[in-house]
Amino acid sequence: MEPLVFQGRLRDRDHADAPVDASITFEEDALVAEAAGGHRARLPWRGLRLRRSEAGALECSSGGVTISSTEPGFPRALEAAGGNEVADALARLDGESVANPWVGRLGCTFALGVAVFVAVRLPACFTAVTEGVAEEVPYSVDEAIGEFASDQVPVEGGTVSDPVLREAVQVMVDRLAPHRSLADAEFRFRIVDNDLVNAFALPGGHIVVFTGLLETAETPEEVAGVLAHEIAHVTQRHGIRQVVKAAGLTAVIGITLGDLSGLESLVVEVLQNGYGRDAESEADAEGVRMMVAARLDPRGLARFFERLDAEQEVEIPEWLSTHPDSLARASRVQALAAEAGAVDWEPLAIDWDAVQAALEAR
Ligand SMILES: [Zn+2]
Q: What is the CATH number of the domain that holds 89?
A: 2.30.29
- Residue 29: what pLDDT? 86
- Distance between Cα 21 and ligand 1 center (Å): 37
For residue 100, pLDDT over 50 is answered with: no
Strand partners, 202: 206
Of the candidates 258, 281, 276, the one whose C-alpha atom is nearest the C-alpha of residue 318 is 276
- Residue 44: what pLDDT? 86
For residue 114, pLDDT over 90 is answered with: no
- Distance between Cα 316 and ligand 1 center (Å): 12
- Distance between Cα 96 and ligand 1 center (Å): 41
Same domain, 55 and 163: no
Same domain, 207 and 329: yes
101 in any annotated domain: no
The confidence band for 145, taking pLDDT boundaries of 50, 70 and 90, is: confident
The residue out of 34, 59, 93 marking a domain boundary is 93
Same domain, 354 and 226: yes
The confidence band for 175, taking pLDDT boundaries of 50, 70 and 90, is: very high
116 in any annotated domain: no
- Distance between Cα 230 and ligand 1 center (Å): 6
- Residue 356: what pLDDT? 98
Same domain, 248 and 324: yes
The residue out of 75, 93, 111 marking a domain boundary is 93
**pTM for this structure?**
0.67
Same domain, 34 and 165: no
- Distance between Cα 24 and ligand 1 center (Å): 38
Domain count, the chain: 2
**Contacts for 127-134: CB closer than 8 Å, 24+ residues apart:** 129/252, 130/244, 130/248, 130/249, 130/252, 133/106, 133/109, 133/244, 133/251, 133/252, 133/255, 134/237, 134/240, 134/241, 134/244
- Distance between Cα 273 and ligand 1 center (Å): 11
48 in any annotated domain: yes
Same domain, 78 and 169: no
For residue 127, pLDDT over 60 is answered with: no
Instruction: Give yes or no for a contact between 192 and 212, defined as CB atoms under 8 angstroms apart.
Output: no
33 in any annotated domain: yes
- Distance between Cα 131 and ligand 1 center (Å): 22
Phi, psi of 16 (to 5 degrees): -160, 160
DSSP 104-150: TSSTHHHHS-HHHHHHSPPPTHHHHHHHHHHHHS-HHHHHHHHHHHH
- Distance between Cα 205 and ligand 1 center (Å): 13
Instruction: Give yes or no for a contact between 165 and 358, defined as CB atoms under 8 angstroms apart.
Output: yes
Same domain, 332 and 207: yes
Strand partners, 9: 21, 68
Helix (H, G, I), strand (E, B) or coil at 159: strand
- Distance between Cα 224 and ligand 1 center (Å): 14
- Residue 183: what pLDDT? 94
Q: What is the DSSP letter of 50?
A: E
- Distance between Cα 134 and ligand 1 center (Å): 18
Same domain, 86 and 148: no
Same domain, 35 and 176: no
| C-alpha distances out from residue 109 to 127, 135, 250, 260, 362, Å | 10, 13, 12, 17, 52
Same domain, 78 and 149: no
- Residue 182: what pLDDT? 94
126 in any annotated domain: no
304 in any annotated domain: yes
The residue out of 93, 114, 131 marking a domain boundary is 93
- Distance between Cα 283 and ligand 1 center (Å): 6
For residues 203 and 186, give the distance between their C-alpha atoms in angstroms, rounded to a whole number: 11
Same domain, 276 and 345: yes
Show the CA angle centred on residue 320, arms to residues 314 and 321, nearest 5°.
85
Phi, psi of 340 (to 5 degrees): -65, -15
307 in any annotated domain: yes
246 in any annotated domain: yes
What's the chain's average pLDDT? Answer: 79
Top-confidence residue, 182 or 94: 182
Top-confidence residue, 328 or 104: 328
* Residues contacting 91, CB < 8 A, separation 6+: 98
Residue 57: give the domain boundaries. Answer: 6-93
Same domain, 167 and 42: no
Q: What is the pLDDT of residues 251-294, one digit of tens each?
A: 655 665 556 666 667 777 777 677 877 888 899 999 999 999 99
